[in-house]
Amino acid sequence: MTPFAADLLVLFRRDLRCFIREVELFPDDATLWKTLPGISNSAGNLALHVAGNLRHFVGGVLGGTGYQRNREQEFGQREGTRMAVSAALEAASVDIQAGLEKLTPESQAAPFPVSVGGRRPATGRLLLHIAAHTAFHLGQAGYLRRALTGSATSASPMDLRDLDDRL
């Protein structure tokens, strides 16, 4: 695995562990699917979207895992258990390794193998975008949980201790 891919794996796995902690901090399954006025996506939808995005682009496209994405379900689902959502995030953590293990300096610099939003940016740059996208939705889920529950408990999503070399 290239050093860049290894660093991305640490970041992705950190954020997925934090997202699982965030999901587990919801007081019950029903609250995971609630929103507030002006908010269109529940934390459950955000978590499913992150899992689907990572499993598709990193695991499926780069790693050849065969994962078939259902983006409509990621945003359309309105109920489910915290355990099932956490399992989807865990599956993403496994799938991303397949894609990152195949990354080479040449493939990192090459255009992404498939079009994303009508574009094919360099694979390394798209992977950085996906990492930022993951962290963005993790933050949204945390703020939504706090607003829905009134709890200030943190899932500690940016703990620097999680940046050590353990995978």
Token readout for 136 is 């963005």
105-119 per-position pLDDT tens digit = 999 999 999 999 999
Amino acid at 70: N
DSSP assignment, residue 29?
Answer: T
What is the reported pTM?
0.94
| pLDDT for position 42 | 98
Residue 167 binned pLDDT confidence (cut-offs 50, 70, 90) = very low
Angstrom CA distances, 165 to 8, 60, 98, stand at: 11, 25, 18
Higher-pLDDT residue of 154 and 30 is 30
| CB-side neighbour CA atoms (13 Å) of 127 | 29
68-102 per-position pLDDT tens digit = 999 999 999 999 999 999 999 999 999 999 999 99
